[in-house]
Amino acid sequence: MKILVAIYSSFAGWNIPDSHVERLRREFPDHEFLHARGEAGVAPLIAEAEVAFASELRKHHLAAARRLRWVHSPAVGIGGMLFPEMVASPVTMTNSRGVTAGPISEHVIAVVLAVFRKLPLAIRRQAEGIWAQHEIAADPPVRQLSESRVLLIGLGSIGAAVARKMVALGARVAAIRRRTTAPAPDGVEVHGSDALHGQLSAADVVVVTAPQTRATWGMIGAAELRAMRRDAIVVNVSRGKLIDEAALASALRDGTIGGAALDVFAEEPLPPDSPLWRLPNVLITPHTSWQRTQHWDDVTAQFAANLRRFEAGQPLINPVDKTAGY
């Protein structure tokens, strides 16, 4: 069987290392692994491939694919590959759900504690050699997670990992998800989307972990920001387009909400003229919440486990509902 590996990006961290493609070749000597290192390399190689381990496939790639049956994404968010022809096609899609839940949940804990404990201000004053005791003690107050209510929008692999850590730290945790009767971590109050505004008004911290789909695009806009507490913090580790960025910048500037920790943006890299760069109550990370040393080991191992299942005709792990978009 021919398997196309097409995982490439201008950001090196999103490229599968050659060593891991070699690892797959050693583990599956009966299959031929074709490796495309850029978009132009995909069309000629995909024609005979039955499987694609791919981060981006375009409409013309699908048109060139004569034998494609299954696409596995090294990411979780695969919206860019869900163009109408792919959704309508019989190609099965799976993703790498779960691989980034550990680092991203630690990242969420880190940024919420950093904002609650006013660490960005302490770091700025340290660089200036200033003893900022009065400034840090002034309003807004330093806060404690165990006295807080956290609302997760999305309770999938990342949301559930954040929930477990928040519960362990003593926070009260609620979540909004689509399937309200699906199993949830202990101690988490689960609601459907109809409860969004009521839940937003009760939360000290709002963490966005839902996927980017037609239903979630812009789901946090001016009205949702107005529903939040004036001291609420918004954390986005999902996709930038779930939040109306202009409305968010206004809400942060005029005190409608207290602060934000943002890892993802509508446009990446975040343009230099974005007002978000200059707001003192915003903590920006450049889409790095997922990073850790074992990332590609685990992504490759998860694909290999799924390939064994594919070979055996067993149900694949992490299937994507192409119509729902995640």
Ligand X SMILES: NC(=O)c1ccc[n+]([C@@H]2O[C@H](COP(=O)([O-])OP(=O)(O)OC[C@H]3O[C@@H](n4cnc5c(N)ncnc54)[C@H](OP(=O)(O)O)[C@@H]3O)[C@@H](O)[C@H]2O)c1
Total binding residues toward ligand X, as defined by CB under 6 A: 34
**Which of 16, 76, 81, 233 forms a contact with ligand X (CB under 6 A)?**
76
**Separation of alpha carbons 224 and 200, rounded Å:** 7
- Asked if 287 is an active-site residue, the reply is yes
CB of 103 to ligand X, least distance (A): 9
List residues bridging with 206 in a β-sheet.
Answer: 151, 234
- Asked if 107 is an active-site residue, the reply is no
Q: How many helices (H) and strands (E) does the chain have?
A: 12, 12
- Using CB under 6 A as the binding rule, the residues of this chain from 273 to 302 that contact ligand X are 287, 289-290
Residue 72 interacts with ligand X (CB under 6 A): yes or no: no
Contacts of 315 (CB under 8 A, 6+ apart): 309
Residue 177 interacts with ligand X (CB under 6 A): yes or no: yes
- Using CB under 6 A as the binding rule, the residues of this chain from 180 to 199 that contact ligand X are 182, 193
- Asked if 61 is an active-site residue, the reply is no
CB 199 within 8 A of CB 187: no
**Which of 7, 49, 210, 252 forms a contact with ligand X (CB under 6 A)?**
210
Task: Report the candidate in 54, 50, 47, 3 with the shortest Cα–Cα distance to residue 29.
Answer: 3
Residue number with CB closer to ligand X (142 or 215): 215
Residue number with CB closer to ligand X (6 or 210): 210
Contacts of 14 (CB under 8 A, 6+ apart): 7, 8, 55
Residue 155 interacts with ligand X (CB under 6 A): yes or no: yes
- Using CB under 6 A as the binding rule, the residues of this chain from 109 to 148 that contact ligand X are none
Which residue in the list 35, 61, 239, 295 is annotated as catalytic?
239
User: Nearest 10 degrees: CA dihedral of 291, 296, 302, 307?
Assistant: 150
First to last CA, the chain: 27
CB 236 within 8 A of CB 264: yes
* Measured CA angle at 262 (ends 113, 202), to 5 deg: 60
CB of 153 to ligand X, least distance (A): 6
Residue number with CB closer to ligand X (34 or 152): 152
Residue 77 interacts with ligand X (CB under 6 A): yes or no: yes
Q: Which residues bind to ligand X, rule: CB under 6 A?
A: 76-77, 97, 100, 104, 153-159, 176-179, 182, 193, 209-213, 215-216, 237-239, 263-264, 287, 289-290, 326
